[in-house]
Structure 1
Amino acid sequence: MQALIAAILLIFLMRSVASQYKKGEGVKTAPTGFQNAVEPVITFVRDEVGKSNLGDKYEKYMPYLLTVFFFILINNLLGLIPGTANVTGNIAFTGAMGLLAFVVIMFSTGKHYWGHIINPPVPAGVKVIMWPVEIMGIFTKPFALIIRLFANMISGHIIILSFIILIFIFGAMNTALGWGTSPLFVALSIFIYLIEVLVAFIQAYIFANLTAVFVAQAFESGHDDAHGHHENVAI
């Protein structure tokens, strides 16, 4: 349900920005309101995620990359509101996002990509070993997206919950000890919570960026080049 709310919120916000652009606001005049806040983010995703990874083909994938970035970001931020669900900390949600990324990656492949898997550029005796490795690599990319987002978004909530639980544990041991340590654990919880706000933006960026990296590796003319230039990002 919360993912549906995030989707509706995303559509509403982006349509309002799009309508402003259609009226010429932000094109002939300076952007205002929410458009002014979201335009630098869109430009950042376009330049640092799209252009830097996909080159001349970035425009084809920008609708998907922007949708993924803002959809994950909205869900991350909604998950920080007390009483709401941590959707991106649910393996089912991240699994669905990873599966969608897998479909996009597969539709971006070409002859060079599959040729590299079927006939890897290694000695003949090593090809037998490389075949299962290359085939496994097809599935490890979306799996990495799934686990990375899931682990990072659930870890902060677990840490905060652990600090709160420690207050009750110490309180059960000794009432004075519980009251005495509670300010420290509350302060630590607030500190982790503020870090979680930053992590919400970072994880949305990383998911979109790694998706762009994997798509670039699937290009017919960019498999080897993208693999070499962006191996450090994937790690």
Structure 2
Amino acid sequence: MMKRALYISGLSLILFLTASPVWASNQDEAKEELNAKEFITEHLADSYEWQIVSNGTKYIAIPLPVILHSKTTGWHLFPSSHFHHGANSYKGFEIAAEGKYKGKIMETDADGSASRPLDLSLTKNAASLLFASLLVILIIMGVAHSLKRDPMKPRKGFTGLIEMLVLSINDEVIKPSIGKDYQRYAPYLLTVFFFIFTNNLLGLIPLFPGGANVTGNIAVTLVLAVATFLIVNLTGTKEYYKEILWPDVPTWLKVPIPLMPIVEIVGTFTKPFALMIRLFANMMAGHSIVLGLTMLIFITASMGMAINTSMTVLSVIFTVFIDLVELFIAYIQAYVFTLLSAVFIGLARIESHFEKKKAVETEKAA
């Protein structure tokens, strides 16, 4: 893992150093000051193409399919390359350069007004999400096939690493948090862990097929949080719902004003909300810091060679350091999301005192 981290960081260093003079020359020619805030926002935002290389004027990108439905002209399917990086319109559609829907496809009607068509396009984040999902499936199926051939043989290398992660999450997180029927929820929780971890790692790689801000997109974390919310509340025990609707507190806190039941019901929504915001905010912040440190190279390009060189060295050093920290955070955030999901599921699987006593007696008799 450390070797890979050093490799990625070294590659980033080379890219930053080689890109610096190109960007500097472009800034001198255009005589414009680089807007760091706009630069970072654009790189964190979703897009209709997967950019590979760019020097400010020329770029290489993989066009993604644009799927639109207009109220007047019906369905449209075409590659995003027709927009020429958002500069031109195509068939009455164009990518908004400013305003509320900046970066989104807009349709110009016959009267000149702009509106949003039904947009089902495959964007960069969606493509990266599909790629990460396929990658997780291939990795897990490959490891499972390898273990199935010879279960007793000790594993080394990548297979051993994946096996260690599976056993660690299953035995140290899922089983203690949920309890006796933990195996029922293990597939979902392990899938969530590897999905988040894989997307976090891909987001740190500056080259294709990495670089997408998937787990830093609140729509993705919202779906993950909703999935946990549904599992928690659809599989909860009677005792769980009793503690929500009729908790063991003084009666005056429940009737005539159901104060505590309201608090408990609100709590069922704040838990997944915390899951969503925690993952989104941490990953978004990490990407923003890396981009902000990188921008020091370009911001100081017009301040003279001495200042620019010293700031370039500092920027690269700090960026490499933050990248290494982000590798650790990529694992921590996947671990925390899985842990909290398991804890919430475990809290919804509580049993009454009578059922617990009966289970203990059955265990002793066995």
TM-score by length of 2: 0.58
**Identical aligned residues as a percent:** 45
Q: Give CA deviations for 1:137-191 in whole Å, capped at 9, x if unaligned.
A: 1111111111111111111111111112233333334553222222112111110
Residue 20 of structure 1: how far off its partner (Å):
1.9
> Amino acid of the residue matched to residue 339 of structure 2?
N
Provide the rounded CA distance (Å) in 1 between the counterparts of 2:299 and 2:230: 47
Provide the rounded CA distance (Å) in 2 between the counterparts of 1:195 and 1:213: 26
| Structure 2 counterpart of 1:196, from 326, 340, 343 | 326
Whether the 8 Å contact between 2:178 and 2:347 is mirrored in structure 1 is: no
Q: How does 1:153-232 map to 2 (within 5 A)?
A: 153-221=283-351
Aligned twin of 1:80: 204
The reply on whether 1:7 has 2:133 as its aligned counterpart is: yes
The reply on whether 1:108 has 2:248 as its aligned counterpart is: no
Provide the rounded CA distance (Å) in 1 between the counterparts of 2:162 and 2:241: 38
The reply on whether 1:58 has 2:182 as its aligned counterpart is: yes
Provide the rounded CA distance (Å) in 2 between the counterparts of 1:181 and 1:97: 40
Provide the rounded CA distance (Å) in 1 between the counterparts of 2:288 and 2:177: 34
Provide the rounded CA distance (Å) in 1 between the counterparts of 2:284 and 2:322: 12
Q: How does 1:25-174 map to 2 (within 5 A)?
A: 25=150, 27-83=151-207, 84-127=211-254, 128-174=258-304
> Amino acid of the residue matched to residue 196 of structure 2?
I
Residue 34 of structure 1: how far off its partner (Å):
3.0
Provide the rounded CA distance (Å) in 1 between the counterparts of 2:306 and 2:232: 57
Aligned twin of 2:38: none
Provide the rounded CA distance (Å) in 1 between the counterparts of 2:183 and 2:175: 8
Residue 22 of structure 1: how far off its partner (Å):
2.4
Q: Which one has a larger percent helix, Structure 1 or Structure 2?
A: 1
> Amino acid of the residue matched to residue 336 of structure 2?
I
Q: Which runs of 5+ in 1 are unaligned?
A: 223-235
Residue 131 of structure 1: how far off its partner (Å):
2.3
Task: Judge which range, 188-197 or 27-36, deviates more.
Answer: 27-36
Larger Rg: 2
Pairwise CA RMSD of aligned residues?
Answer: 1.8
Provide the rounded CA distance (Å) in 1 between the counterparts of 2:350 and 2:331: 31
Provide the rounded CA distance (Å) in 2 between the counterparts of 1:149 and 1:140: 14
Residue 207 of structure 1: how far off its partner (Å):
0.7
TM-score by length of 1: 0.88
Aligned twin of 1:233: none
Determine helix, strand or coil for the equivalent of 1:30.
Answer: coil
Provide the rounded CA distance (Å) in 2 between the counterparts of 1:122 and 1:64: 34
Q: Which runs of 5+ in 2 are unaligned?
A: 1-126, 353-366
Q: Give CA deviations for 1:104-160 in whole Å, capped at 9, x if unaligned.
A: 111221211111111122222223322221111111111111111111111111111
The reply on whether 1:16 has 2:142 as its aligned counterpart is: yes
Determine helix, strand or coil for the equivalent of 2:236.
Answer: coil
Could you say which structure has the greater relative contact order, defined with CA pairs below 8 angstroms and 6 or more residues apart? 1
Whether the 8 Å contact between 2:136 and 2:195 is mirrored in structure 1 is: yes
Provide the rounded CA distance (Å) in 1 between the counterparts of 2:224 and 2:201: 17
* Residue correspondences, number: 221
Provide the rounded CA distance (Å) in 1 between the counterparts of 2:162 and 2:292: 35
